[in-house]
Each structure stands twice: as structure tokens, then as C-alpha cells.
Amino acid sequence: MSNRMGIVAAVVACAGTALVAGSLSTSATAAASAVQIVKATAWPGQLATATCPTGFHLTGGGGDAHGAALIASRPSDDGQSWIALAKNVGADTGLDAQEDTTSWAVCSED
């Protein structure tokens, strides 16, 4: 059984545009918006913060804990980034024992 615990969630719904498993599909009645996925990886003990570029807004996101427990995965207070944090739940549970954490921000063009 793997020690890997993680949650990856990304949901996008904007003006008839949906992102599903990396493919962009649009309805015939709505104009397609550009969708960009931004990835960030943090060193142990730091938040992984994926930020949407200028001209884009956050529509969703997710986080993944590599060999650790994901303890936070949420939008930032300003609504432009997705943050994730993980903690080691094994024998050494100190913050310095955290594994790398990855976050993804799903961004849609303004």
C-alpha cells in the first residue's frame, strides 16, 4: 500500500467553457475563454502557492502531498492564487519533515 496521500481537484465553469482532464470543450452558444493551469511546488515547510497571471482570474485549484498528508488546499485571501500545505504523519512529524507539496491554480482569462 502506498504512503502517498493527495487530493487533486480542479473545477472550471465559465460562460459555457469546461476543463475536463486537460481538454477544453465549449458549448456552441458560448465563446471559448482561455484557460491556463499554473503549477507551483514548495520546499518542505512552506506553502505551495500557484498564482494566476495578469489578465486571468482563479476559477479553481487543488493540491497534492507527495508522501505526506495534505492539511490545506484552498484559494488565497485575495482570490488570485491556490495554496496547499502538507505535513508528514509518519514517525517524524516535525514541520522540517514535511514532503514537497504541489498546488495548481485553474485560471480563466478575464
Higher pLDDT, 53 or 25: 53
Per-residue model confidence as pLDDT tens digits over 61-71 = 999 987 788 88
In the prediction, which pLDDT does 77 show?
96
The residue-averaged pLDDT of 30-52 equals: 85
In the prediction, which pLDDT does 100 show?
84
* pTM tops 0.85, yes or no: no
95: helix, strand or coil: helix
Range list of H helices, the chain:
none
